[in-house]
């Protein structure tokens, strides 16, 4: 491969004209300017979150928002720690996030494999049905699912108490394990992997599972990471469901804890600076995970040599 | 190797998450004693007050565990309760607004508190009932059948008028006590005062009104014009589309067009922020209002920030809001009540009643709650407590005393409180008239009468449409 | 191509997903159908012992709602306007990001940051950007965007305040949605690009294929599975738009004085929930479901023809 690159470069140089170099420079400049502008736009809310956490409540409440805090205060961070039991919230969220991500990945990988590589009766119908479940506004699911986890089954007048799993970690994890979005995403990636590899493996007598583990997964690492990030973020941002099914202090998750009354002033106004400070604190670990995982997304490149 | 590791990891992760669920399912609800769940919206400071009184309560009733849970905002409490009602897991006690209760009633799970209040053993004495400020207490009976009592008042607030005392005194203005001018020489009408302020300072918006919906509803009460009615037929519930209401809206529209007033939704910033503003805008002008009508519980926001030397840029005065008819004084009653929801085990309801009674007949609790929150007590006896008297004596025109000042004003109007009838859809009416007022006063200057009247019809049609 | 025999082992792979889906997705879906066809179904009334008859009354109520046409129009337009814009932008950013060497890591990190930004912050930013504080000529601030427009000498535009036009509102909501959708799409498409074999590009270089041609002939087809995914799922998501509008206007779903001006079908569903009017909510959901189903079928048909696996 390195040789090919060298070769290509040699040819490139040989046929290069000055005009082309110039246009390349322009193209590169345009690319950087474009990326820079988009980056500024995209990062603005993050910036806002940070500066809001440094403002006093009075400054935040002013009718003209300031782009940079007039007086920088750090007391919001103190308030954040004091008002919300951040450590507990964080540990709960981490637990739910990690467990549900791992389990969800297993379920997703297995299903995506079946949908992309295996043939079985009713495959298209089932996949269509899966897609259909994405098309109904989620709130109606929430209501029915709430009744299910509370043990309130159809045709029963009373809730069955031993089926009631509200206020457990399981109820925060299990109903959310299957995401059709992720199955679909991974299926798309799997479909990109040439089928010849699979057939060759079959001839070698490699089992489906081994093929999935040894070939498909390493080739799809960037998608798997994407799903991991999204799933983790899901745990970090989920709000409506946790509030409904596990609102006790032993299971409360971060967004729930932060949005709850902890940051409400006595006149029922949200103390946004303190809330932003709390949100900022809990985002840091996630951000670090992110920076760390970025390398692995890039790793997809070096492995792609197997293809073609 | 990797595979084994993965499986081990998966199992390790699965176990802890499934175990507690199995264990809990096995022994769910086996706790000793009685557990009373109470949903509210209190922030940390108020929760501390509540917890203190729960501890006191537990000295008398150690067998009762009160599980208080702060859910978020009022609407969050409503949504949570509605969903839980459907699975039979509803809390025993919940913060509520009247229209929430009207919705809950369809489940037939709201407990008629009269069954407890009139109980000879655990009920309320005549003195205890009389101690409640009547306007607040009667709210609980406004659900169509006055023989049933569905809520008890918890803490209340109303609207008061904040004005820039320094400015009023410097310019010899009187504090307005009625809305519309009765003719030349009437210097105490809001109409006159705001017109004067605008003359004195053209770059001001003399009056800022916090809530359009409150304004509309309060006007209908003060003018005794139809607003809503709690009846069965959907079409007959919404009565606000009439000529009298059109008339007062037209007057307010004139004020708006002359630049005399604004509301929070139109201004798009806190009207209290407008009132206390000292910062120039992008063109270098400092835009003020000199009168601000808002919740009595938000008094501290109506006070300007202290200067570096501890002085204030102006003194804040507080007064009752203007009236339309001195013989029919009306101010809106706001703030949470508590309702009780039926539990599977009646003993839980009985315990919930004991707690509710303990809390809401305790002037000490009301006093402490009020001093922490800015809401006003619902018990008259609170006002004769030394601690509360001391709090009120600190009433002052600055940030530390303004809450007490506003509490005082509220107390003085205790006979004027009103609550609109509550029914399923009463909050739609509230939302729609607020919208209506905004749309009406801000409609283009060349709008025809029929297009303005159409706004009333639209609001009515929406209300009906939402409740079919 | 694939192993054509029916492979019952496939069901083993699907077992965990299918069991969970049966309980937590298919059952709620069926329940939605049931509630939609029970006239006036109310979740609280059922507890109170009321009985409901079978029929299509709920659908009639929804369609006869005075604002239903507006909601439908908003729903469709939001989707049709935002999906192509955000997809194209995301693709351009992903390609640009993939084509540079210096600063690539920095830019990648920056484009990831929105993920760790709480959604509340995004709503706050939008308020600061588009909201004018003040009335008439007494204005405290015109908002950041109007200040920028003002630098070029233009008159401030009423974006979200009382009296703002439907078009201006639409513009703000679309901007918000595109903005909100970008990071996810960039991530997915970048992931797709990273999987593309560099050798294709080298071959193109040797052939001295123009960049534009390379983009349309190599890049787009190679990421087409990811593009198909992004387009199909964002159409589905676009039809269910709700939280972005709440983020800008609050639950009134429109500027003060014209609340509901930006409301969508899902917004209507949410309006029905505080009264537990699950019958109407379900009926509206099913109407939307029908629309999405048709659009997704068309999308699926097109992508089958165009996507290269």
Provide the angle, in degrees to the nearest 10, between the axes of the packed helices A123-133 and A180-192: 130
CATH number of C110's domain: 1.10.3720.10
- The SS3 of residue B258 is coil
- A140 burial class (0-12, 13-18, 19+ CB within 10 angstroms)? buried
pLDDT surpasses 70 at B19: no
User: How far is it, in rounded angstroms, from Cα C189 to Cα C193?
Assistant: 6
Q: Is A243 on the interface with B (CB under 8 A)?
A: yes
Listed residue (B182, B163, B158, B162) closest to B173, CA to CA: B163
The whole-number pLDDT of residue C40 equals 92
Confidence at B1, pLDDT banded by 50, 70, 90: very low
The H or E element spanning position B316 is strand B316-319
A10 vs A256, residue with greater confidence? A256
A:B CB pairs within 8 Å: 122
A96 alpha carbon, distance to own chain's centre: 14
- A280 burial class (0-12, 13-18, 19+ CB within 10 angstroms)? buried
The whole-number pLDDT of residue A260 equals 59
Question: Mean pLDDT, to the nearest integer, of B424-436?
Answer: 92
Question: Mean pLDDT, to the nearest integer, of B9-33?
Answer: 46
The whole-number pLDDT of residue B13 equals 45
User: CA B334, B339, B341 angle in degrees (round to 5)?
Assistant: 155
Q: Is residue C103 part of a domain?
A: yes
Backbone angles phi, psi at C55, to 5 degrees: 170, -170
Question: Mean pLDDT, to the nearest integer, of C248-263?
Answer: 88
What is the tens place of the pLDDT at every residue in B152-199? Answer: 999 898 999 999 999 999 999 999 999 999 988 899 999 999 999 999
- Based on its alpha-carbon atoms, the radius of gyration of chain C, rounded to whole angstroms, reads 24
The whole-number pLDDT of residue A263 equals 65
Provide the angle, in degrees to the nearest 10, between the axes of the packed helices C104-112 and C166-195: 130
Question: Mean pLDDT, to the nearest integer, of C158-172?
Answer: 91
What is the tens place of the pLDDT at every residue in C122-132? Answer: 777 777 788 88
Give B465's contacts in chain C (Cβ within 8 Å).
64-67
Confidence at C5, pLDDT banded by 50, 70, 90: low
Superfamily of domain B159-332+416-466 in the CATH hierarchy: Periplasmic binding protein-like II (3.40.190.10)
Give the pair of three-digit tokens for residue A229: 């990030």
Question: Mean pLDDT, to the nearest integer, of C137-148?
Answer: 82
User: For the structural domain made of B32-153+336-374, what CATH number should be given?
Assistant: 3.40.190.10
Q: Smallest Cβ distance to B79: which of C66, C138, C274?
A: C274
- The SS3 of residue A167 is coil
Provide the angle, in degrees to the nearest 10, between the axes of the packed helices B363-373 and B44-60: 170
pLDDT surpasses 50 at C2: no
Domains of chain A, start order: 85-259 (1.10.3720.10)
User: How far is it, in rounded angstroms, from Cα C250 to Cα C297?
Assistant: 33
Question: Mean pLDDT, to the nearest integer, of C279-306?
Answer: 91
As a whole number, the mean pLDDT across chain A is 79
Q: Which of A186-190, A229-233, B171-175, B313-317 tops mean pLDDT?
A: B171-175
The whole-number pLDDT of residue C265 equals 94
User: CA C14, C20, C22 angle in degrees (round to 5)?
Assistant: 95
Domain of residue C111: give its range.
67-275
What is the tens place of the pLDDT at every residue in A107-135? Answer: 999 999 999 988 888 888 999 899 888 88
Q: Is residue C158 part of a domain?
A: yes
pLDDT surpasses 80 at A63: no
Q: In this prediction, what percent of chain A has a pLDDT beyond 90?
A: 14
Question: Mean pLDDT, to the nearest integer, of B413-441?
Answer: 91
Least confident segment among B48-62, B85-99, B224-238, C120-134: C120-134
Give B281's contacts in chain C (Cβ within 8 Å).
134, 139-141
Task: For B227-288, list the strands marked E by DSSP.
Answer: 261-263
Question: Mean pLDDT, to the nearest integer, of B82-110?
Answer: 92
As a whole number, the mean pLDDT across chain C is 86
- Per the CB < 8 Å rule, is A244 touching B83? yes
Confidence at B59, pLDDT banded by 50, 70, 90: very high
Q: Which of A78-87, A208-217, A251-260, B299-308 tops mean pLDDT?
A: A208-217
Which of C276, C277, C280, C281 to mutate: most B Cβ within 10 Å? C276
Task: Spell out the domain ranges in chain B.
Answer: 32-153+336-374, 159-332+416-466
The whole-number pLDDT of residue C187 equals 83
Confidence at C278, pLDDT banded by 50, 70, 90: very high
The whole-number pLDDT of residue B134 equals 87
Residue whose structure tokens are 């079409």: B235
Report how many domains make up chain C: 1
Those of residues 4-63 in C touching chain A at CB distance below 8 A are 4-11, 13-14, 16-18, 20-21, 23-29, 31-32, 35, 43
User: How far is it, in rounded angstroms, from Cα B84 to Cα B71?
Assistant: 13
The whole-number pLDDT of residue C1 equals 41
As a whole number, the mean pLDDT across chain B is 88
What is the tens place of the pLDDT at every residue in C58-87? Answer: 999 999 999 999 999 999 999 999 999 999
pLDDT surpasses 50 at C211: yes
Confidence at A269, pLDDT banded by 50, 70, 90: low
The whole-number pLDDT of residue B170 equals 95
Q: Is residue C18 part of a domain?
A: no
Q: What number is the ipTM of this complex?
A: 0.84
* Identical topology for domains B32-153+336-374 and B159-332+416-466: yes
What is the tens place of the pLDDT at every residue in B114-141? Answer: 999 999 999 999 999 999 998 899 889 9
Contacts of C23 (CB under 8 A, 6+ apart): A148, A175
The whole-number pLDDT of residue B8 equals 42
Q: Smallest Cβ distance to C228: which of A34, A188, A276?
A: A188
Give B372's contacts in chain A (Cβ within 8 Å).
266
Residue whose structure tokens are 């991530």: C187
What is the tens place of the pLDDT at every residue in C12-57? Answer: 899 999 999 999 999 999 999 999 999 999 999 988 888 999 999 9
User: How far is it, in rounded angstroms, from Cα C258 to Cα B439?
Assistant: 7
Question: Mean pLDDT, to the nearest integer, of A201-226?
Answer: 84
Confidence at B12, pLDDT banded by 50, 70, 90: very low
The whole-number pLDDT of residue B435 equals 94
pLDDT surpasses 80 at A188: yes
What is the signed CA dihedral for B389, B393, B397, B403, rounded to 10 degrees?
Answer: -10
Q: In this prediction, what percent of chain B has a pLDDT beyond 70?
A: 92
């Amino acid at each position: 491969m390195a040789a090919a690159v060298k070769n290509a470069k040699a040819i490139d140089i040989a046929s290069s004209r000055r005009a082309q170099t110039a246009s390349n420079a322009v193209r590169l400049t345009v690319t950087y300017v474009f990326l820079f502008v988009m980056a500024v736009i995209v990062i603005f809310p993050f910036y806002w979150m940070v500066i809001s956490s440094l403002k006093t409540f009075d400054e935040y409440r002013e009718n003209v928002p300031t782009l940079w805090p007039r007086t920088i205060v750090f007391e919001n961070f103190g308030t954040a720690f004091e008002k919300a039991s951040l450590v507990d919230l964080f540990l709960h969220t981490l637990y739910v996030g990690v467990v549900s991500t791992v389990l969800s990945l297993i379920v997703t990988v297995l299903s995506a494999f079946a949908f992309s590589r295996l043939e079985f009766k009713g495959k298209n119908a089932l996949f269509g049905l899966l897609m259909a479940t994405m098309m109904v506004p989620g709130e109606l699911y929430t209501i029915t699912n709430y009744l299910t986890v509370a043990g309130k089954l159809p045709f029963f007048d009373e809730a069955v108490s031993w089926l009631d799993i509200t206020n457990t970690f399981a109820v925060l994890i299990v109903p959310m394990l299957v995401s059709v979005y992720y199955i679909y995403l991974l299926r798309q990636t799997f479909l990109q992997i040439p089928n010849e590899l699979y057939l060759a493996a079959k001839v070698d007598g490699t089992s489906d599972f081994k093929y999935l583990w040894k070939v498909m997964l390493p080739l799809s690492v960037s998608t798997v990471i994407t799903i991991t990030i999204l799933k983790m973020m899901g745990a970090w941002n989920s709000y409506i469901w946790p509030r409904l099914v596990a609102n006790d202090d032993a299971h409360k998750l971060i967004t729930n804890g932060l949005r709850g009354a902890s940051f409400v002033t006595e006149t029922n106004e949200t103390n946004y600076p303190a809330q932003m400070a709390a949100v900022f604190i809990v985002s840091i670990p996630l951000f670090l995970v992110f920076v760390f995982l970025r390398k692995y997304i890039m790793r997809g490149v070096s492995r792609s040599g197997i293809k073609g | 190797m990797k595979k084994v590791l993965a499986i081990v990891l998966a199992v390790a992760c699965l176990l802890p998450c499934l175990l507690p669920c199995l264990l809990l399912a096995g022994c769910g609800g086996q706790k000793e004693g009685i557990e009373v769940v109470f949903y509210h919206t209190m922030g940390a400071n108020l929760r501390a007050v509540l917890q203190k009184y729960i501890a006191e309560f537990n000295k008398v009733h150690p067998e009762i565990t009160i599980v208080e849970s702060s859910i978020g905002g009022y609407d969050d409490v409503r949504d949570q309760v509605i969903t839980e009602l459907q699975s039979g897991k509803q809390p025993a006690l919940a913060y509520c607004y009247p229209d929430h209760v009207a919705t809950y009633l369809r489940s037939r799970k709201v407990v008629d508190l009269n069954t407890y209040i009139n109980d000879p053993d655990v009920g309320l004495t005549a003195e205890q009932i009389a101690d409640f400020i009547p306007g607040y207490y009667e709210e609980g009976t406004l659900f169509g059948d006055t023989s049933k009592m569905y809520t008890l008042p918890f803490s209340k607030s109303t609207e008061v008028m904040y004005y820039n005392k320094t400015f009023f005194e410097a310019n010899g203005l009187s504090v307005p006590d009625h809305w519309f001018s009765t003719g030349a020489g009437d210097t105490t009408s809001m109409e006159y005062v705001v017109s004067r302020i605008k003359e004195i300072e053209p770059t001001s918006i003399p009056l800022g009104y916090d809530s359009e919906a409150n304004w509309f509803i309060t006007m209908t009460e003060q003018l005794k014009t139809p607003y809503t009615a709690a009846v069965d037929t959907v079409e007959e519930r919404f009565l606000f589309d009439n000529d009298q209401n059109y008339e007062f809206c037209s007057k307010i529209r004139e004020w708006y067009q002359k630049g005399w007033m604004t509301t929070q939704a139109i201004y798009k910033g806190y009207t209290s922020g407008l009132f206390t503003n000292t910062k120039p805008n992008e063109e270098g002008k400092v835009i003020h209002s000199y009168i601000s009508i808002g919740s009595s519980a938000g008094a501290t926001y109506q006070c300007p920030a202290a200067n570096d030397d501890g002085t204030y840029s102006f003194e804040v005065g507080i007064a009752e809001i203007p009236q339309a008819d001195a013989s029919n004084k009306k101010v809106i009653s706001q703030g949470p009540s508590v309702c009780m929801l039926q539990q599977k085990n009646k003993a839980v309801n009985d315990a919930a009643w004991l707690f509710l009674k303990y809390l809401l007949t305790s002037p000490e609790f009301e006093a402490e709650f009020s001093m922490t929150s800015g809401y006003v007590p619902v018990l008259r006896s609170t006002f004769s407590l030394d601690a509360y008297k001391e709090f009120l004596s600190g009433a002052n025109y600055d940030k530390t005393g303004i809450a007490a000042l506003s509490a005082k004003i509220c107390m003085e109007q205790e006979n004027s409180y009103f609550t609109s009838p509550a029914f399923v859809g009463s909050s739609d009416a509230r939302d729609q008239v607020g919208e209506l007022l905004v749309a009406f006063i801000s409609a283009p200057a060349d709008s025809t009468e029929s297009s303005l009247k159409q706004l009333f019809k639209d609001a009515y049609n929406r209300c009906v449409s939402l409740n079919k | 191509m694939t192993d054509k025999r029916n492979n019952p082992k496939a069901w083993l792979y699907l077992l965990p997903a299918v069991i969970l889906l049966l309980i937590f997705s298919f059952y709620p879906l069926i329940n939605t159908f049931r509630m939609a066809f029970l006239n006036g179904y109310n979740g609280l009334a059922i507890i109170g012992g009321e009985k409901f008859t079978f029929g299509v009354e709920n659908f009639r109520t929804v369609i006869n709602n005075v604002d239903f046409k507006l909601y439908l129009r908003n729903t469709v337009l939001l989707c049709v306007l935002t999906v192509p814009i955000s997809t194209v932008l995301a693709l351009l950013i992903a390609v640009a990001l993939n084509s540079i060497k210096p600063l690539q890591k920095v830019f990648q990190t920056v484009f990831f940051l929105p993920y760790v930004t709480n959604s509340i912050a995004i709503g706050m930013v939008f308020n600061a950007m588009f909201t004018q504080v003040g009335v008439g000529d007494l204005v405290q601030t015109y908002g950041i965007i109007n200040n920028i427009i003002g630098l070029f000498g233009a008159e401030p535009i009423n974006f979200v305040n009382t009296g703002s036009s439907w078009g201006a509102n639409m513009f703000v909501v679309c901007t918000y949605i595109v903005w909100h959708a970008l990071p996810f799409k960039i991530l997915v498409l970048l992931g797709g690009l990273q999987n593309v074999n560099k050798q294709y590009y080298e071959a193109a270089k040797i052939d001295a294929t123009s960049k534009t041609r390379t983009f349309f002939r190599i890049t787009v087809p190679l990421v087409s599975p990811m593009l198909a995914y992004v387009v199909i799922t964002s159409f589905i998501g676009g039809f269910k738009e709700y939280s972005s509008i709440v983020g800008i206007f609050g639950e009134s779903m429109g500027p003060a004085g014209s609340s509901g001006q930006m409301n969508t079908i899902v917004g209507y569903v949410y309006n029905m929930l505080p009264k537990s009017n699950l019958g109407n909510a379900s009926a509206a959901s099913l109407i939307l479901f029908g629309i999405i189903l048709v659009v997704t079928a068309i999308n699926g048909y097109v992508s089958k023809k165009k996507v290269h696996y």
